[in-house]
Amino acid sequence: MGQIEDLRLFMLIVETGSISKAAGKRNIAKSAVSRRLAMLEARYGTKLIDRVPGHWHITETGRELHQRAIRVIGEMDEIENDFVNAEADLTGPLSISVPYDFGVNFLNNNLIAFKSRYPDIQLTIDFEDRKVDLVRENYDFAIRITSEPIGEISANQIGAVRHCLCASPKYLEDHPEPHSLDDLRQHQLFYFGTARRAIWEFLTDKGQTQSFEFQPFLNSNSGVFLLKATLNGLGICRLPDFIAADALDAGDLVQILPEMAVSEWGIYLVHEEGRRLNRRMRLFAEEMKTVCLPRALSAENA
């Protein structure tokens, strides 16, 4: 046996809590397992497991070695999967939850391209805005867009979203363009959500947060619907850039109060905490970083 196999055997002893059970799982003699453990202890010059008749206890050094062995063996297994069984690891399920408007409007073509490149990955994508339970509902990843940082270890920020107030030229023909938040109170304002009393928060040019409370003229949980209502001249809406960008570039929408900035919202890729990512998951994560990271960079440079 090599050192890696010795570590595997040590992990098995710890996880089964018994030299004899570890020997049974490996179908080898108990004496052979005891001998390999003694050689491992001699190599490191320390006791890893205190064992006397009727007593079995892992030492503090043994516990630390076990934790580090988990990482080392895990890395070795990933190398084995990535290079020896690379094709086999690309023929399994991959289940993703994506916010509806972001997925349909921004990620749509990239998700299709990913499936085209890896046709044997059984890709399932749910477009929905609720916060799914990754473990109970068996999702590999969820993409979440939020104004608050996600503190979970399993959440990686892969991009950023900016918002702006928008109106159509048609609307501004019939309504005076607002030049302050107070002026907004005279306008028909749309809100993403169901709140009867809504709040928008803005950053002033001095970096201070300023809240604006209002009664929405129109509510919806669809950013695409609110975009269409805004394009039709029904009012003013705060829209994310992945929905409003094309209309702004085409001149079909005009930005209102550009000096009143909105804090960036993070785009996060979330997976079950502690889960080791297989190659399918790592490929998808890299794809999402490639697609979404330029959004964060462009937001920083804007």
How confident is the model over 82-141, as pLDDT tens digits?
Answer: 666 555 557 788 999 999 999 998 999 999 999 999 999 999 999 998 888 887 888 999
CATH topology identical between 88-158+265-301 and 163-256: yes
In angstroms, the CA 229 to CA 217 distance is 11
Domain locations in the chain? 3-84, 88-158+265-301, 163-256
Residue 261's DSSP bridge partners are: 203
Q: How many CA atoms lie within 13 A of 76 on its CB side?
A: 11
Reported confidence tier of residue 299, pLDDT bands at 50, 70, 90:
very low
Q: Which fold has domain 163-256?
A: D-Maltodextrin-Binding Protein; domain 2 (3.40.190)
pLDDT at residue number 298: 47
The pair phi, psi for residue 193, each rounded to 5°, is: 135, -170
Angle at 146 between CA 191 and CA 186, to 5 degrees: 20
* Check whether domain 3-84 has CATH 3.30.420.280, yes or no: no
Task: Place domain 88-158+265-301 in its CATH homologous superfamily.
Answer: Periplasmic binding protein-like II (3.40.190.10)
Name the percent of the chain lying above pLDDT 70. 90
pLDDT (0 to 100) of residue 4:
83
Check residue 168 and give left, alpha or beta (phi > 0: left; psi -120 to 50: alpha). Answer: beta
pLDDT band of residue 52 (cuts 50, 70, 90) is: confident
Band of residue 81 on the pLDDT scale cut at 50, 70, 90: low
Give the full edge-to-edge strand order of the sheet including 265-270. Answer: 122-127, 93-98, 141-146, 265-270, 155-161
What distance separates the 2 farthest-apart alpha carbons in the chain? Answer: 91
How do residues 150-182 score in pLDDT, each as one tens digit?
766 688 899 999 999 999 999 999 999 999 999
